[in-house]
Amino acid sequence: MTITHDRLDATFAALADPTRRAIVARLARGDATVNELAEPFAMTLPGISKHLKVLERCGLISRTRQAQFRPCHLEAGGLDSAVSWIEENRRIWSERFDKLDEHLRDIQTATASTKGRARR
Amino acid sequence: MTITHDRLDATFAALADPTRRAIVARLARGDATVNELAEPFAMTLPGISKHLKVLERCGLISRTRQAQFRPCHLEAGGLDSAVSWIEENRRIWSERFDKLDEHLRDIQTATASTKGRARR
């Protein structure tokens, strides 16, 4: 993986805040300006801007430089590294249990065949 | 979804630290004691214990109460809410682009048929 620890730190930290998650969820539905994003929250524009800067720094959103409008755009690819990290560790974890299941089945088969021979 | 904001906040915040991610990755491979977990890190046992408490509070790990051994166990289900949240928003985002693609194809088909009629 080429993703640095810093990038994963920043992405997970960005997602650890409910307002930032709500902004990501809003932008998943379509681009929006800072004013549009601020509307549903009881927050000042500078407050929302601070959250946008956090999301922008970790590459989760981008902003065009169109004068005062500057619509925010979700860079959904920014979520890839976070999902990859989680999925990779869930895969390793579940493979461990698959192996344990396999091992238990082998033991059961061996026990059954030993019992079979003993009965004959 | 029944997962509270607080739980998602705590899970993402827990994953925002490289040492805690390394602990989760280690436990995905198998249960381990605090001493075993501390070994690869240049950290004191109380330092590792602090990280374990963070992981335990958000339900990512559990610890049995076996005297001094107390092996730590990854509760991989604790990662589900985080993955669900990300996947849901990636799905909404990609459906938006699917709809855009569909709309563009409709426009192209309409334009082609108009041109076809004009030529006849």
- Give the pLDDT confidence of A69-117 residue by residue, as tens digits: 789 999 989 999 999 999 999 999 999 878 778 878 888 888 888 777 7
Closest Cα partner for A20 from A51, A44, A46?
A51
A57-79 confidence digits (pLDDT tens) = 999 999 987 656 789 999 989 99
Flag if A79 and B86 touch (Cβ within 8 Å). yes
Q: Exposed, middle or buried, B38 (CB in 10 Å: 0-12/13-18/19+)?
A: buried
Give the gap in angstroms from C-alpha A67 to the nearest C-alpha of chain B.
26
| A28 contacts B21? CB cut-off 8 A | no
Q: Which of B57, B89, B95 to mutate to test the interface with A (most CBs of A within 10 A)?
A: B89
Phi, psi (deg, nearest 5) at residue B33: -85, 170
Quick check: pTM over 0.95? no
Structure letter (DSSP) for residue A75: -
* Best residue in A57, A90, A95 for a mutation probing chain B (most B CBs within 10 Å): A90
CB contact under 8 A, B83 and A85: no
